[in-house]
Amino acid sequence: MRVAVFSEAAADFRTATDLIDRVVRAGCPGWVGDLLDSAPAEVRTWHRDPDDQAFFDIHDVDRYRRHFGVRARHGHFDGAPNMPGALMASSVFRIVRALRRVEPALVGVVLLWDLDQQPDERRGGIAQAVNDAESWADFAIVVGLPCRMREAWAIAGFEPTDDEERARVADLRRELGFSPVEESHQLDAQDETAKRSAKRVLGLLTRGDADREARCWQEPPLETLVARGKDNGLAYFLEAVDRCLVPLAVRR
């Protein structure tokens, strides 16, 4: 199963691909999990961008489009003006269609994009592009829209392992007036120094330790991530991976 991942940064790519591996492992026969341990490329590979980067940077979508000779989409979507993100996402899907002409093994695309301060508008724009692509795409489309940013997904998986970490969660609960772990979608500030900044909260919880951060999505049961991710986009992403990519991983 070869998949192209379009995301904003390497951290987003790591989060998405680690979660995909977990969902594939949970949804496939045991031998698939064994292969993920010993020879992961036998189960899935991530299509590299033209610069040999592990993921496609969505900030460079126009450059990719020109590189692959893909024309930009114009006009309305089903009679409605395009919403924020619709043209970008449409370009992503058209790039993948162009890639499949020379790489038929490419069977899916993952688009991970923070909602930031436009949650409703960006959801609407991505939905426009997905609905448009469904009429011609011959590959799986998985969309992840962290609300408001990827760090909320990591916070949702933070499980205190000792008294010090439990104290950090308790301190933040008192400061914020809610549990950031249980209600990470409420961390809606864009300013990284603001009280409700997901970046600030994650930094406090993990003390800036990248390995501790990664454990937030690598270790908790998927059921925990689904339960805590109903309002921050994580549950939707995990369900989409299970529905769209797991069958392809079994088929290989």
Helix ranges (DSSP H) in the chain: 10-27, 30-38, 61-67, 86-102, 119-133, 151-156, 163-176, 198-206, 210-218, 222-228, 234-244, 246-251
Torsion of CA 80, 86, 88, 89, to 10 degrees: -130
CA-to-CA dists, residue 186 to 17, 140, 182, angstroms? 25, 31, 10
pLDDT at 252: 60
Alpha-carbon gap, residue 222 to 152, rounded angstroms = 16
Alpha-carbon gap, residue 185 to 35, rounded angstroms = 35
pLDDT at 251: 76
Q: 159 with 219: CB under 8 angstroms?
A: yes
Whose structure tokens read 């549990």?
Answer: 179
* pLDDT tens-digit series, residues 115-124: 999 999 999 9
pLDDT at 160: 98
Q: 43 with 34: CB under 8 angstroms?
A: no
- Residue span(s) of the chain under CATH 3.40.50 come to 1-146+233-252
Supply the pTM of this predicted model. 0.96
* pLDDT tens-digit series, residues 66-101: 999 999 998 899 999 999 999 999 999 999 999 999
Euclidean distance between the first and the last CA atom of the chain, given in angstroms as a whole number: 5
pLDDT at 250: 85
DSSP code, position 73: P
Intervals of the chain under pLDDT 70: 252
Q: 233 with 147: CB under 8 angstroms?
A: yes
Whose structure tokens read 């986009």?
Answer: 233
The DSSP line for 152-211 is HHHHHT----SHHHHHHHHHHHHHHSS-TTT-GGG--BSSTTSTTBHHHHHHHHHTT-HH
Q: 171 with 163: CB under 8 angstroms?
A: no
Mean of the per-residue pLDDT values for the chain? 97
Give 1-146+233-252's CATH code, choosing from 1.10.3470, 2.60.40, 3.40.50, 3.30.70.
3.40.50
Peptide bond into 148 cis (omega under 30): yes
pLDDT at 203: 98
| Cα four-point dihedral sign 214, 216, 217, 219 | positive
